[in-house]
A = this chain, B = another copy of it.
């Protein structure tokens, strides 16, 4: 299940592609029943689409959805952050500091080689996760999780086309500083431009990809 989800998010299983049960059973070496359960759960959160009597497909990607998801990510992230900033205790601070430390380390690393991309993504995830980790709103976190994963799928796509991590690193620093100061408005401002910038890069990458496909 985790593997399947990861393969969808990182694009190993392409958007829109049919998920042949037989093929997946071989790939992950599991039976039909657990596989269908996993797919059903993913369908519930929208990563795959169940087509009655016609199996499952990886849910599609488009410029429209990229914008939609970007705005939702923003909305939910802000909700979670506001709550987390208010409730965060010392342990929260420690989590944020630690997570930022590792993220910064990877972002500063000289070689952003293909192997490091996964680590970068993981550290990025951990950092944002740490920031909202004091939020006590279960449902906000649940929905944020769903949207975050979708957003990550799009983000990966843009990484393939343009790998300018410089400014992202600065944005993370600003986010880190504002968070520790418990300055809600500053955090909101930073995260807003951070996410909107990402969305912009994603839509550009998507348009480019659609263009490429037209020439194939």
Q: How large is the interface on A (under 10, 10 to 19, 20 to 34, 35 or more residues)?
A: 20 to 34
This chain's copy number in the assembly:
2
* CB-based nearest B residue for A70: B139
**A140 touches B (CB below 8 Å):** yes
A residues sitting closer than 8 Å to B (CB atoms) are 33, 36-38, 40-46, 50, 64-65, 68-69, 71-72, 75, 79, 136-140, 142-143, 146-147, 150
Given A33-B36, A64-B136, A71-B140, list of 5 further CB < 8 A pairs?
A36-B37, A41-B43, A43-B44, A46-B139, A65-B139
Interchain residue pairs with CB less than 8 A apart (27): A33-B36, A36-B37, A37-B40, A38-B40, A41-B43, A42-B44, A43-B44, A44-B44, A44-B45, A45-B45, A64-B136, A64-B137, A64-B138, A65-B139, A68-B137, A68-B138, A68-B139, A69-B139, A71-B140, A72-B140, A72-B143, A75-B75, A75-B79, A139-B147, A139-B150, A143-B143, A143-B147
